A and B are shown apart, each in its own frame.
Chain A
Amino acid sequence: MKAKTEKIPATVKPRPAAKPWQLRLYVVDETPKSVTALANLKRFCESHLKGLYRITVIDLLKQPQLAKGDQILAIPTVVRRLPKPMRTIIGNLSHLENLLVGLDLNRAA
């Protein structure tokens, strides 16, 4: 799997002034777990952060050196780079409530 950037068209921006969220999804290879995680993350963002987010998928199989930077141990891991502070959620993101807590959505408002 390539590192790919999912950019959501800016047409559905609720608040043009707010900075977009930067999310990184670390995966290793295209395992069912990582596919699920990406799908879950996308679904979540579409419903809560439409137009306000950017997801970068990093495949550590191809870029193992990147694991160190964000202190990645568990796979899959989502790192919220922006807004600050940095937050980390691990798992396939199937548990929505935990994801909500983890990403601390209130900040988006």
Chain B
Amino acid sequence: MITKSNGHLPEKSATQLPKCPTGIQGLDEITGGGLPRGRPTLVCGGAGCGKTLLAAEFLVRGAVQFDEPGVLMAFEETVKELTANVASLGFDLGGLARRKMIVIDYVHVERSEVQASGDYDLEGLFVRLGYAIDSIGAKRVVLDTLEVLFASLPNEAILRSELRRLFRWLKDKGVTAVITAERGRESLTRHGLEEYVSDCVILLDHRVNDQIATRHLRVVKYRGAMHGTNEFPFLIGEEGISVLPITSLSLNHKVSDERIATGIPRLDAMLGGKGFFRGSSILLTGTSGTGKTIVAANFAQAAARRGERVLYFSFEESPDQIIRNMHSIGLRLAPLVKRGLLRFHSARPSLYGLEMHLATMFREINTFKPHVVIIDPITSLMDSGTDSEGKGMVTRLIDHLKGGQVTSLFTSLTQGGHAPQQSESAMSSLMDAWVLLQDFEGNGERNRVLYVLKARGMAHSNQIREFLISDRGIDVVDAYIGVSGVLTGSARVAQGALEKAAVLAGQQEAAQLQREVERKRGALDRKINSLRADHKMEAMELRRIAEQVGTSTLMLTTERTASGILRQADAKSVVHPRARPRMEKENK
């Protein structure tokens, strides 16, 4: 590390190479800001790679976006041809030339018309270039394709030394130059121009894989600067060249804590009760007919009903077909489309290559600015490229979407019988959440189940749920999980009925018992009551007898007294009445 003293400041600026932004989508990201300013850059590649277009775009964007006039020295195409060729990309070379932002100089050298006699140099080219540069104060220069000179001028030794001088001269002029060259068989360029242009070399390539052609761009060399070294696919679209890792080089998306509902309450419940994170990427895999599109459409409807914009990329069905099919399960998407909240984009995967799809999708995303993007299914799209390309594409797409905090849902068709985890493992690592839909076959029927395989950053249910589709939409219910395995559909219903019957029987038994107890208790009460009544009766009898005895004694005494009086009884009989009452008392 360089010490931090002030004296070293100029050194720091010297290490930081000044860059000249190309304005070409993606290229500036790869090169960390553009081409080396004031230095020549070599762009090489085979025929039809887009060298001339890249160079022309560099000039046009320079003139239009960065106010840097440019000179295009064409050795292969005439001004008219060039203007016509780049007009298809929306570049108005003619207009720019009229506004003195661009000078096009067509250099025509025909070997058959030129006879060499003795020593020569290329001072004429220097003069022409110098004149063109000075006439508009150009900052950028394109030489396309300088190597034509090797074919049209004799004496290669002179040519080489002159080219070396030319590049030196361009540097001295302080212009940022792009020199295009044909790809050589063994070397980067056919005539070894890379020897002279040592600051920055960009290699373009056009390969065909499985009948699909893809263009690639690689920064082979960039002296004094960090740059992406990978091969990046690029394409030539309606708005010029776009190199596709638009934000792929970094992993620093902002994240949101906001959760968004899936439109299926029970699924939300499985995801901690609140649904997915906003801006997360969700993978929905399943074999065919497991209801991937339905879940996706539900998600779309829920988002659109919240007032969010939803972009639905369909690679299997037409928009009308999706709307009709979803209507049959109670999803009404047509009004949402009408209100501009839901937009469909349908295209056959085989329509064009992966990059073109990606570019189209980027364009749609950038114009519609959706909150939610659904890609249904990602697998058929990935089939139009090789595995690594497909993964690269998904990475770029996710990066792009995450950068804009767009929630993305990808459905993925897995082959029946294969282990889904394996075939999807490449993609799954890119995804924040993964919901799996599966078929269960048994009892002569086929039932769908759903489970959350992963959901980064949230508590989620580990349970398998049965997933029912009816004309009222989706319902997720608990699947029966018991000793005999997972029961779904009619088996689950039967099991449910069985359980219900068992419960009912239990209840009935309990009630029976209750009644019995009640009855016994009643009997007991009755017994107690009758005993009590008996006792009462006996007591009353006793009292009655006692009273009778008392009365009779009294009567006896009275009678005796009366008879005594009548009979004038002796003293003996006087004693008896006294003794008797005492005895009565003891009896009581």
Contacts and interface: CB of A to CB of B under 8 A. Distances in A.
A33 interface: yes
Contact of B118 (A64, A87, A94): A94
A91 B117 contact: yes
B114 A60 contact: no
B118 A92 contact: yes
B240 to A, nearest CB: 28
Interface string A47-86: 0000000000000110011011001111111000000001
B115 A75 contact: no
Contacts of A96: 117
A73 B115 contact: no
A91 B158 CA distance: 11
B121 A71 contact: no
Given A60-B123, A71-B107, A73-B149, A65 B131 contact: yes
A17 interface: no
Given A74-B122, A74-B124, A95 B109 contact: no
B121 A75 contact: yes
B117 A73 contact: no
Interface string B99-134: 000000101110001111111111111111011000
Contacts of A26: 124
A90 B107 contact: no
B153 interface: yes
A76 to B, nearest CB: 7
A91 B124 contact: no
A33 B127 contact: no
A5 interface: no
A90 B120 contact: yes
A47 to B, nearest CB: 15
Contact of A72 (B118, B124, B149): B124
Contacts of B108: 71
Contact of B117 (A61, A64, A95): A95
A88 B153 CA distance: 12
Interface residues of A, number: 34
A109 interface: no
A94 B117 contact: yes
A89 B126 CA distance: 18
A33 B120 contact: yes
The interface residues of chain B, by DSSP majority, are classed as mixed
A67 B128 contact: yes
A28 to B, nearest CB: 4
A64 B105 CA distance: 13
Interface string B485-527: 0000000000000000000000000000000000000000000
Given A60-B127, A64-B127, A67-B128, A91 B118 contact: yes
B120 A74 contact: yes
B124 A87 contact: no
A98 B119 contact: no
A90 B115 contact: yes
A88 B114 contact: yes
B117 A75 contact: no
B113 A87 contact: yes
Nearest to A89: B115
B1 to A, nearest CB: 49
A52 B117 CA distance: 22
A94 B153 CA distance: 17
Interface in B121-179: 121-128, 130-131, 149, 153
By CB atoms of chain A within 10 A, which of B123, B126, B131 has the most?
B123
A94 to B, nearest CB: 4
A28 B122 CA distance: 10
Interface of A: 26, 28, 33, 36-37, 40, 60-61, 64-65, 67-68, 71-77, 86-96, 98-99, 101-102
Q: Which 9 A-B pairs have the closest CB atoms?
A: A102-B115, A64-B131, A94-B118, A91-B118, A98-B117, A75-B123, A72-B124, A92-B118, A95-B117
Given A28-B124, A68-B105, A98-B118, 5 more contacts: A60-B127, A71-B108, A75-B127, A91-B120, A101-B115
13 contacts: A33-B119, A60-B124, A68-B128, A74-B121, A75-B120, A77-B120, A87-B115, A89-B116, A89-B117, A90-B115, A90-B116, A90-B120, A98-B115
Interface of B: 105, 107-109, 113-128, 130-131, 149, 153
